[in-house]
Amino acid sequence: MRAKALFVTSIAITALAAPQSAQARPFEDPRAGLIPAIDADTAFQAEPRDPACHAAVMASTGGALPKNPRTLAVRWTGYANFELAFNGQIVLLDAYFDRGSLHPSLGFKAADVKKTDAILIGHGHHDHMSDAASVGARTGATVVGAPVTTEKLATQAIDAKQVRTVTGRGGEVLQLGAFKVEPILGEHGDPPAALVGAFDTALKATTTPPTPEQIAEQATIRQRGTQDRRVRSEGTIAYLITLDNGFRIMYRDSGGRVTDFEKAAMQRVGRVDLGLIAVSAAYLNSATVEQALEHVRTYKPDVYMPAHHDAPFNNLWRATEPLFQAVKDDNPRIVTVSKGYREPTCFNTEHNISRSR
């Protein structure tokens, strides 16, 4: 370990001495500023630029996997979609890629996703699962979801043998290569109807209405998810993911209240390294902040990456800065990260903060 630490130091000095590399490393581990030894991109590699940590191309669409097997590359791809690339494997969290012309483009289509080992679906609304069946069928990935989600998958063109149903009520562990996945029953977030109604009215009054073609397009996409009422109470699954070296991730794709199942799981593991957590849909910062604080106080992530904060052209993105300020006021050590579609954030999982403390 001593020799490794010295090596890291020498690389860091070399990098500082070379001005072009100092300004050309935007995607290093976001905790690097807190712990100088952390830099997933250079710590273990003679080759300083790992495309997996710099290019805005997903590994699942033909981009590079991290060269170092201990590097985790995380990419947000709209709504609550993330790609995790680690140790030669790819795991997709949610699958909602072909969103239609009312949405900003993600820069790739569902049909471009050629490689993935697993798809974990947080819940079965179309904006979380609409491309899970097609991507799963093309890649042969294991697709995981709650009963109401996998019932929908059973009506779609994917082999039932690839599909795993989980309830999140405890005792379920899926070992997917280097990823240990524990499903935990969460709760869907539903903002007050009066609030949503008022904002919808204002948005309708100030934006261009969709064309009949766009309405038809949305209806087709919507059909690839479920609107079953069970999604809210028994169909929203949080996933606690533990990598083979102990690095922990909590993924939650809806901004609802924390459940007793989540509290119990977090009491057991204490904290996570990375939280990928959906923002509440409540528009007002006072409400979204309150929900985000409950999430981060429960999961205790070192690094907080929000999810589900983008929106169609005729709607409002959910502001992340007020959340970031509030969680930092609550815990000055937390690191907040929000990047553009497909931009990677790389973690040196060997140097997660808990070991370094």
CB 304 → Zn ion: shortest distance, Å? 21
Residues that bind Zn ion (CB under 5 A): 125
CA angle 107, 113, 118 (to 5 degrees): 125
CB 125 → Zn ion: shortest distance, Å? 3
Burial class (CB in 10 A: 0-12, 13-18, 19+), 136: buried
Find, among 291, 265, 260, 264, the residue nearest to 277 by Cα.
291
Between 136 and 255, CB nearer to Zn ion: 255
Could you tell me where the DSSP H helices lie in 241-344? 260-269, 285-299, 321-330
CA angle 347, 104, 203 (to 5 degrees): 120
Please give the DSSP secondary-structure letter assigned to residue 61. Answer: G
- Token pair in block for residue 260: 């007793």
Between 75 and 125, CB nearer to Zn ion: 125
CB 189 → Zn ion: shortest distance, Å? 8
CB 148 → Zn ion: shortest distance, Å? 12
User: What's the Cα-to-Cα distance from 23 to each of 16, 19, 52, 100, 249, rounded to whole Å?
Assistant: 9, 7, 18, 36, 29
Find, among 178, 182, 142, the residue nearest to 162 by Cα.
142
Between 142 and 236, CB nearer to Zn ion: 236
CB 111 → Zn ion: shortest distance, Å? 24
- Token pair in block for residue 251: 């993924």
Between 112 and 228, CB nearer to Zn ion: 228
Q: Which residue's C-beta sits nearest to Zn ion?
A: 125
CB 236 → Zn ion: shortest distance, Å? 8
Between 166 and 178, CB nearer to Zn ion: 166
Between 186 and 344, CB nearer to Zn ion: 186
